[in-house]
Chain A
Amino acid sequence: MPQDANKVKDHFELFRGEEYVDMLARKKAEFENPHPAEEVARVREWAKTEEYKDLNFSREALTINPAKACQPLGAVFAAVGFESTLPFVHGSQGCVAYYRSHFSRHFKEPTSCVSSSMTEDAAVFGGLTNMIDGLANAYAMYKPKMIAVSTTCMAEVIGDDLNAFIKTAKEKDSVPEDFDVPFAHTPAFVGSHITGYDNAMKGILEHFWDGKAKTAPKLERVANGSINFLNGFDGYAVGNLREVKRIFDMMKIDYTILGDQSDVWDTPTDGEFRMYDGGTTLEDAANAIHAKGTISMQEYCTEKTLPFIAAHGQETAAFNHPIGVEATDSFVMEVARMAGVEIPDELAKERGRLVDAIADSNAHIHGKKFAIYGDPDLAYGLAKFVMELGGEPVVVLSTNGGKAWAAKMQELFDSSPFGAGCQAYPGKDLWHMRSLLFTEKPDFLIGNTYGKYLERDTGVPLIRIGFPIFDRHHKHRYPVWGYQGGLNVLVTILDRIFEHMDATTNVPSKTDYSYDIIR
């Protein structure tokens, strides 16, 4: 018997015992009707070929292992960034269970969100009653300051009208007349989670700035000197927002983070559960109309929000998840320009320290080939940084990136010899990536947790950067933005490279001459 009370074996070891190995071999041989091992091996090898890749890329209908989620996830992300705000997703309830699980698995934090729990009768008659009861219950139980409504695909397919429903719910006293219930239609069959972020953020700003769905006067913009900041859908929200606030404080600028998730997804374990914590105050969200300008860290997360803000008379600037020296330079200089402040010397010093670190370490990255995937802005930001380090991206893939993104990527590749030969793959998934890893043979892969399957199948070592990261802990606490963030990304990349070096040089009397103590 393999189990031992004094040295308990769990799944990691238990099933490697002879009893289990034999049992599972018998199960397979006698009952599973398996394909012959040679046939499995043949197909496995075939799936590594150019021929398979061509077949794989000729897919028109099937999506396999996409690196994107659906709109309401992004809407929930945006909503929890506001003070005491409860996200309310109108439609089927299972969706909300999924969003909550998904975020909790990434942030290792609670995620509060409610559903209007629509079922078959609502599919026939519409979900108005669900909205009326749902708002009343959520308001009474969870005492939010705001309820931000979005939709699942069910509510979208049957065509529920959020504006009208919320109005009716207020008439029926579900929530007080002046209670803030911004909304956004977020159909899952359009765009991805970044589209949902965009729609929800725009919905919230529209609510506060443009007369709260005709229940209040529109705000008149009286320009001041402050700057608004949009992070976009960001798995590093906790670390990044704190870093950005630190930088803004150093620069002594007046700013508003629109959607600050850094506290609600990083609450202390001190005996008290905080359902809400931190976040942009509703007053600040309203007053953000008066800002001089708005900075978006992720262009493709704010394709509607930023023009909406510009239309209210503000300057706007969009970045692509800036990582590294040059991207951070552009960000910092644009903030300084917009706010009319000088960049403090301390920041120049931080910059110099990042350059110093790159100078120390770039030899280990120079010339290495990278495959990168992620949301369009993140993929851009990572590719730019890799090139800055002397690395060579060869594949940059974004399931939710479009043609405009691909063109922008190409411009980036063309801007440097380190981008020569790299191709952008918009709208492709991780099964496409699998083929590319076999045929393009990069040295490293950068992506989220799901990349571990690619690492297993192709042997290309994975550097975990992205969303979601389920199988490593606390990465979201460390910024990837700012010079400090660049340093974190550099170290993440280097650690994996060094680990890989050690793991491939440690066979005694065979490879261990390269198993160096100093690198």
Chain B
Amino acid sequence: MSVSTPTDIAEVKERNRALIQEVLEVYPAKSAKRRAKHLNVSEEGKSDCGVKSNIKSIPGVMTIRGCAYAGSKGVVWGPIKDMIHISHGPVGCGQYSWAARRNYYIGTTGIDTFVTMQFTSDFQEKDIVFGGDKKLAKIMDEIEQLFPLNKGITVQSECPIGLIGDDIEAVSKVKSKEFGGKTIVPVRCEGFRGVSQSLGHHIANDAVRDWVFDKSEGKEPLFEPSPYDVAIIGDYNIGGDAWSSRILLEEMGLRVIAQWSGDGSIAELEATPKAKLNVLHCYRSMNYISRHMEEKYGIPWVEYNFFGPSKIEESLRKIASYFDESIQENAEKVIAKYKALVEGVIAKYRPRLEGKTVMLYVGGLRPRHVIGAYEDLGMEVVGTGYEFGHNDDYQRTAQHYVKDGTLIYDDVTGYEFEKFVEKIQPDLVGSGIKEKYVFQKMGVPFRQMHSWDYSGPYHGYDGFAIFARDMDMAINSPVWSMAPTPWKKDDGDYLAIAAE
């Protein structure tokens, strides 16, 4: 379907620059000036992608971003399975994020685990007027009565909490003491803080530092430490991603003592300072706590990428390099073990996907991390951008991932994204639920790259097979050839059209 596939890099760059100019024309002058800084074309050899990032979204433009609460409750804390996370404030935030992220876990929900439940203080007008601290204290009492096997509580602040001056820290301290030292974590992740989910990640990381690590110091782990203990940091186990990653680490002889935070538990969080190495997948959302553990406990951390065999292989070797030769040999064995699977997947799917183009727009790590997986299948990522990336994300992207001339869009607006896709006519768009149906209406195949479109896992070798299958089923579905109305086709050149 790609009608616009200039092969000459100079031509691509020229087209992309012209496209950027074109979309900027729609904005009032002030906004055009601001948006211009977030759009660019990647240049080989540059240290970053040439865009500004982690800046306030412009009002009224249909940003795809969320908020700090989403970053804390929705991403970092929510998956910790044996704690109860209170969405503190009005009912909506907890309702819309209820079980929406597919953080898989094993447990008896409602008895010893609580991830797919929505606990809220359901603020009413009187709580706004008189404050919600008493209500919060009572909520904690009721949690203790009704859910005696909970291992801790977090308070995920919604917008009003910070505005009405509630002291959730004081309530948490008092109740923790009353409950015999139970871990109770107040999190100041009000939605108006910061510019996106990103600050919520940071605040949530800091809350682990202040309310879990500092509190559990001196507490001995339940296991005998070994020289091969690692913690998986920044994997939310969406569709089971952390599991299909863990299995590889264990196969190479490492022992995973904690998962942050998909299928994670408070015991695992507390034990993490005993790790010999932190392996970090989502840098954006958990680099803060990794740096803290490096500074305070001397634990090195290493970023890895478990999307697609090329990056998995590279990552396994990189992780192994922190350990002795036995682990390094094991890494080679793991790579060899999965070779047949990888070859089988590529033999089956690459011929069906070769040369197909992709445009991405996702969150923390995927705008760069999945590029290798597409390339393993012979596909090309021609545009990418971050919802809430910072400059260090764009640096990593430029230095290790994108090709020369890739269109880069930071905090893209609905209008820009539609226009870019309309003009570039990629074979696949990978983004979120809000974008999915827009592009499908345009007749463009789409995969949700936050939730794996309810599939997954995509991490690890087992996940790569699923990734390949899913991209194939999206792109090569018979449905797309039926999108154009046959009696309306004029010249056979079928183009996706954005809203006017």
Give the B-binding residues of A (Cβ under 8 A): 1-6, 8-11, 14-15, 19-20, 23-24, 27-28, 30-35, 39-40, 43-44, 47, 52, 55-56, 59-66, 68-70, 72-73, 88, 91-95, 97-102, 104-105, 108-120, 122-123, 130-131, 133-143, 152-154, 157-158, 187-190, 192, 267-276, 431, 434, 450, 453, 457
Contacts and interface: CB of A to CB of B under 8 A. Distances in A.
6 closest A-B pairs by beta carbon, nearest first, are A94-B67, A70-B92, A5-B344, A134-B59, A134-B60, A98-B96
A101 B433 contact: yes
B140 to A, nearest CB: 9
A137 B29 CA distance: 10
Contacts of B413: 141
Nearest to B70: A94
B20 to A, nearest CB: 15
A98 B149 contact: no
A378 B176 CA distance: 42
B95 A3 contact: no
Contacts of B135: 61
Interface in B158-173: 158-160, 162-164
Contacts of A135: 60
B58 interface: yes
A3 B244 CA distance: 11
A510 B440 CA distance: 49
B69 A94 contact: yes
Contacts of B499: 142, 272-276
A1 B337 contact: yes
B148 A43 contact: yes
Contacts of A112: 62, 414
A61 B139 CA distance: 5
A154 B250 contact: no
B485 A270 contact: yes
Nearest to B96: A98
Contacts of A100: 434
A161 to B, nearest CB: 16
B338 A32 contact: no
Contact of A97 (B70, B465, B484): B70
B483 interface: yes
Tell me which of B57, B247, B418 has the highest count of chain A C-beta atoms within 10 A of its own C-beta: B247
B302 interface: no
Contacts of A33: 151, 222, 265, 267
A122 B192 contact: yes
B112 A92 contact: no
Tell me which of A102, A130, A143, A153 has the highest count of chain B C-beta atoms within 10 A of its own C-beta: A153
A69 B247 CA distance: 39
B267 A154 contact: no
B384 to A, nearest CB: 20
Contacts of B82: 32
Given A31-B223, A119-B192, A273-B439, 15 more contacts: A31-B258, A31-B265, A63-B122, A70-B91, A92-B67, A92-B191, A95-B92, A110-B438, A118-B59, A118-B192, A140-B26, A142-B499, A272-B497, A272-B499, A273-B418
Given A3-B462, A269-B483, A10 B455 contact: yes
Contact of A154 (B95, B163, B247, B337): B163
A66 B163 CA distance: 24
A271 B240 contact: no
A140 B28 contact: yes
Measured as residues with beta carbon below 8 angstroms from the partner, the interface class of chain B is 35 or more
B434 A101 contact: yes
B120 A63 contact: yes
A15 B338 CA distance: 17
B348 A119 contact: no
Nearest to B496: A271
Contacts of B99: 450
A32 B223 CA distance: 10
A187 B258 CA distance: 41
B301 to A, nearest CB: 19
B142 A60 contact: yes
Nearest to A130: B59
A3 to B, nearest CB: 4
B26 A123 contact: no
B160 A153 contact: yes
Nearest to A24: B106
Nearest to B136: A61
Contacts of A275: 499
Given A153-B158, A154-B191, A274 B60 contact: no
B106 A119 contact: no
Nearest to B414: A112
Contacts of B100: 101, 105
Nearest to B437: A110
8 contacts: A3-B462, A14-B240, A115-B63, A141-B415, A153-B92, A153-B159, A154-B160, A431-B110
B271 A92 contact: no
A346 B473 CA distance: 45
A187 B343 CA distance: 56
A98 B120 contact: no
A62 B139 contact: yes
Nearest to B479: A269
Given A65-B118, A95-B67, A457-B110, A30 B223 contact: yes
Contacts of A271: 441-443, 483-484, 494-497
Contacts of A157: 128, 159-160, 163-164
Contacts of B500: 143
A2 B483 contact: no
A104 B91 contact: no
A137 B121 contact: no
Contacts of B62: 112-114, 138, 141-142
B256 A27 contact: yes
Given A5-B465, A32-B268, A15 B192 contact: no
Contacts of A130: 59
